[in-house]
């Protein structure tokens, strides 16, 4: 069992925000796999699926970004999950728009959602899939920037990178982080258009 968590804020007003790229990616992935989200008995929405005979869960916290860790902790306890089987999909201002990187563990990098997860589960040792949202904002305007919407051209770039993200998540579901790393090393230099 592996769980893929997208970081974002619930509600239509936030749907196209830069801060919601984790939710946007999970929507893209679930559409590809013909899955839909439903409410749980906890503070998150989820979707369960199977890939290569392996069960996986997509999870979107209902707690808003800054309290993402509350939902992640509930999910870990409910599924009795080892944290190495948790993959967090998160926006990253330190990467160019639509750039993708993966990381096995680490700090929060100034991201409140990651900070909340680390605090609540008391560990930094969970994999992340980081999706760049760029940093085209003036000093002091970070909050306004991450809560602003992507434009149409941004979404076109993101969709190309989401195809790569799907391949990475598929590898994670089948064999964990090391398989995902191998897939990333093999595909990262290819034209993302060829990954569809």
Catalytic machinery residues: 19
Name which of 136, 38, 7, 8 is nearest 48 in CA terms: 38
Do the Cβ atoms of 38 and 91 come closer than 8 Å?
no
Report the distance separating Cα 169 and Cα 175, nearest Å: 10
């Amino acid at each position: 069992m592996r769980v893929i968590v997208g970081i974002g804020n619930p509600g239509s007003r936030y749907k196209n925000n830069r801060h919601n790229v984790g939710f946007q990616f999970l929507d893209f992935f679930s559409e590809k796999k013909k899955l839909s989200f439903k409410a749980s008995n906890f503070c998150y929405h989820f979707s369960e699926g199977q890939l290569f005979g392996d069960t996986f869960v997509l999870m979107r916290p209902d707690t808003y970004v800054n309290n993402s860790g509350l939902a992640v902790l509930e999910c870990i306890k409910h599924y009795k999950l080892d944290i190495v089987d948790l993959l967090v999909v998160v926006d990253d201002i330190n990467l160019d728009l639509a750039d993708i990187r993966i990381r096995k563990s680490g700090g929060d990098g100034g991201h409140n959602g990651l900070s909340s997860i680390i605090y609540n589960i008391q560990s930094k040792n969970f994999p992340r899939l980081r999706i760049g949202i760029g940093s085209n904002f003036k000093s002091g305007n970070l909050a306004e920037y991450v809560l602003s919407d992507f434009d149409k051209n941004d979404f076109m770039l993101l969709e190309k990178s989401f195809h790569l993200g799907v391949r990475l998540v598929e590898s994670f579901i089948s064999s964990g982080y090391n398989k995902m790393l191998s897939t990333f090393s093999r595909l990262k230099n290819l034209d993302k258009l060829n990954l569809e």
